[in-house]
Amino acid sequence: MTRVYRWEVLKLLAQKRTYLGLGAAMLVPLIFVVVLIFRSGGPNDIPLGRSIRETGLATPFVVLFFMSIWAFPLITALVSGDIVAAESHNGTLKTILTRSRNRGEIYAAKVLAAFTYTVLVIAAMGLVGVVAASIEWGFNDLTSLSGTTVSAWHGLGLLAASLAIYAWPMAGIAAFGLFLSTVTRNSASAVVGTLLWALLMQLLGVLPGTESIRPYLLGEQFQAWHGFLRTPADWTPVVRALWVCAFYVGVPLAAGYLVFLRRDVAGE
Amino acid sequence: MRGAPPIEPLPVEARGLVKRYGDIVAVDHVDLSVERGDVFGYLGPNGAGKTTSLRMLLGLIRPTAGAARLFGRDPIVDGARALDGVAGFVEGPRFYPYLSGRRNLRLLGDLDGGVPAARIDEVLDVVELRDRAKDRVGGYSHGMRQRLGIAGALLRDPKLLLLDEPATGLDPGGMRDMRELIKRLAADGITILLSSHILAEVEELCNRVAIIRTGRIIYEGRLDELLESAGGGYLLRASDPERARAVLLAHGIDGVQLVERELRFQADAGAVEAATVALGKAGIGISLLAPHTATLEELFLGMTEEAA
């Protein structure tokens, strides 16, 4: 299994689209810092926006706020929507399915590789953001949304926790991308379909009349990390995200697995 | 009392294989038996169901009915274990274009549990690709990909090779090299199931054949027996071949082929004698009537076009 997973990662590393998403995740916080160096003012009306020049720790939170809505879903979809469909397109699925590995093992390795990529791009954004911004504005204490001050290291812990809890709904997006990639066998359809799914989940959340189901929509979980910015931490959205996203991860993965296990590999 | 020796499972045994796509029956109750040491030719026109059958043998598609076994194991039931000792490709080998030939082979080797680098060099040598092994497969010619496909199959040290049209798209030199390679592999004791519509290749390489037409097997057996069965063939050169064919048909001689203004057919001597008299009465001149042993190509065309 480790070997199959390793090759899935190596295949990702050999493809341009991998670097497109990873590069974007690293470039956005850099551009953000550079723009704020040369321009006064800032994103005052978003969480931690006012603290942007007080500590380098605020930048990754603010960038996450912007990227959480569609940039990260898009980056996630780029890889997860392609990871099975590209093999169908290249005809390599039949190559790897006629070796000594069962279909379940191949599928599991692809799931793990797609999740690894999702976690990696989110972590890369956080790391580049905190390093670049700290060089300019220092690694100082952070003022939480409740107005209390937390130490820089505590703030770093909150950033790690925020990125981790944000990665969980992104795993839901990746799972849906894998499902579409398996079912459609077409990379473009799977990527676009996954992005539309992410946007639909957020759109449903702002429509009137959806209040009762809103807490259970995937889009709502994109903001669960805001709970960590309060003192003491508000665990309600975090805990809800944990179990709601388990559903959004589990169902498409299971459906994709069943399709992958039984599908005919023909004419591809 | 000693019991009977255990029966060794056949390298390939398909029984009643059916694959249906909606109303279309791509493979219709196909039975195949490939024995140890065979170079088995699987022949049929395009779209006859050869590749679909091979896909079912390799477990890539699920049969609608029937079962396929490789060395006694069903790929649908036993999964990848059924492919132990089996290698090959269907519809041309496919590789990751962005990886080098060597890395592609390493990947395949790792999917088989890992192979030493020296073994990869060995198979690259067998297919004469070692000097291009560092290049990306995206830049390989069709022939090089076919050879890399064979290399990928050999990495598994197979006892059974399933090759789908291995010489298709190769230039004459490439086709000759591929034939030599298959001969060498067969001489090493590997059982080979070869789908092809290059009949000269099959005639040169195979000891047994199956012929499939519109999803059904119309012949399975030894190639030499098939060719012998074509004894009693005749070659006729007549002044009006089209009318001559009609006369032959009227005398109960069917399966008459018109090849380059010559008629080829099979019939017993009595029918031929009666036909010559009829041809004379019809005013059709005969410049040549001679016994003729059919080639595999003539037999194949006769069998596959009979019902068309």
Tell me whether residues A98 and B95 touch, CB distance under 8 A.
no
Q: For the segment A121-135, what is each residue's pLDDT rounded down to a tens digit? A: 999 999 999 999 999
Name the minimum distance, in Å, from the CA of A193 to any CA of chain B: 25
Element spanning A142, H or E = strand A142-143
For residue B58, give the nearest of A3, A92, A98 by CB distance. Answer: A98
SS3 B83: helix
Name the minimum distance, in Å, from the CA of B232 to any CA of chain A: 42
**Contact of B11 with B36, CB cutoff 8 Å:** yes
Q: State the best of B96, B145, B156, B162 to mutate against chain A, taking most chain A CBs within 10 Å.
A: B96
Q: What is the pLDDT along chain A (268 residues), one digit of tens a residue?
A: 888 999 999 999 999 889 999 999 999 999 999 998 888 877 777 878 778 888 889 999 999 999 998 899 999 999 999 999 999 988 899 999 998 889 999 999 999 999 999 999 999 999 999 999 999 888 888 888 888 888 989 999 999 999 999 999 999 999 999 999 999 999 999 999 999 999 998 888 888 888 888 888 888 888 888 888 888 888 988 899 999 999 999 999 999 999 999 888 876 5
Taking the CB of residue B177, how many other CB atoms lie within 10 A of it? 18
Considering only CA atoms, which of A74, A76, A78, A73 is closest in space to residue A15?
A78
Element spanning B175, H or E = helix B172-187
**Contact of B123 with B161, CB cutoff 8 Å:** no
Considering only CA atoms, which of A255, A73, A119 is closest in space to residue A182?
A255
Strands B216-222 and B65-70: unpaired
SS3 B221: strand
Residue A147 is classified by DSSP as: S
Which pLDDT score, from 0 to 100, does residue B1 have? 46
Q: State the best of B94, B155, B161 to mutate against chain A, taking most chain A CBs within 10 Å.
A: B94
Distance between CA atoms of residues A208 and A71, nearest Å? 25
For residue B94, give the nearest of A3, A91, A102 by CB distance. Answer: A91
Residue A34 is encoded by which pair of tokens?
């550079």
Distance between CA atoms of residues A259 and A46, nearest Å? 42
Cα→Cα distances A193→A171, A180, A198, B127, Å:
16, 7, 9, 43
Residue A263 is encoded by which pair of tokens?
């599908």
Which pLDDT score, from 0 to 100, does residue B135 have? 94
Tell me whether residues B61 and A94 touch, CB distance under 8 A.
no
Considering only CA atoms, which of B218, B223, B229 is closest in space to residue B201?
B223
Name the minimum distance, in Å, from the CA of A80 to any CA of chain B: 18
B residues 109-138 lying closer than 8 A (beta carbon) to A: 110-114
Tell me whether residues A100 and B107 touch, CB distance under 8 A.
no
Residue B98 is encoded by which pair of tokens?
């962005």
Q: What is the pLDDT along chain B (308 residues), one digit of tens a residue?
A: 455 666 789 999 999 999 999 999 999 999 999 999 999 999 988 888 999 999 999 999 999 999 999 999 999 999 888 998 899 888 889 999 999 999 999 999 999 988 999 999 999 988 888 899 999 999 999 888 988 998 999 898 899 999 998 887 778 888 888 888 889 889 999 999 999 888 888 888 999 999 998 899 988 988 888 877 766 688 899 999 999 999 988 888 877 888 888 888 888 888 888 889 999 999 999 999 888 777 777 778 877 776 55
Distance between CA atoms of residues B116 and B109, nearest Å? 8
**Which chain B residues are within 8 Å of A8, Cβ to Cβ?**
none
B residues 54-73 lying closer than 8 A (beta carbon) to A: 55, 58-62
Please, how many CA atoms are within 13 Å of residue B16, restricted to the half-sphere of its CB? 4
Q: Kindly report the backbone phi and psi dihedral angles of residue A158, in degrees, each rounded to the nearest multiple of 5, phi listed first.
A: -65, -35
Specify which residues B67 forms β-bridges with. B15
**Contact of A105 with A1, CB cutoff 8 Å:** yes
**Which chain B residues are within 8 Å of A103, Cβ to Cβ?**
79
Cα→Cα distances B70→B54, B78, B80, B219, Å:
11, 10, 11, 21
Q: Kindly report the backbone phi and psi dihedral angles of residue B230, in degrees, each rounded to the nearest multiple of 5, phi listed first.
A: -85, 5
Please calculate the CA angle B151-B157-B163 and round it to the nearest 5 degrees.
Answer: 55
pTM over 0.90: no
Tell me whether residues B112 and A94 touch, CB distance under 8 A.
no
Which pLDDT score, from 0 to 100, does residue A267 have? 65
Distance between CA atoms of residues B103 and B92, nearest Å? 19
Which pLDDT score, from 0 to 100, does residue A156 have? 93
Cα→Cα distances B94→A95, B104, B136, Å:
6, 10, 13
Element spanning B237, H or E = strand B233-238
Dihedral angle of Cα B13, B15, B19, B20, to the nearest 10 degrees: 180
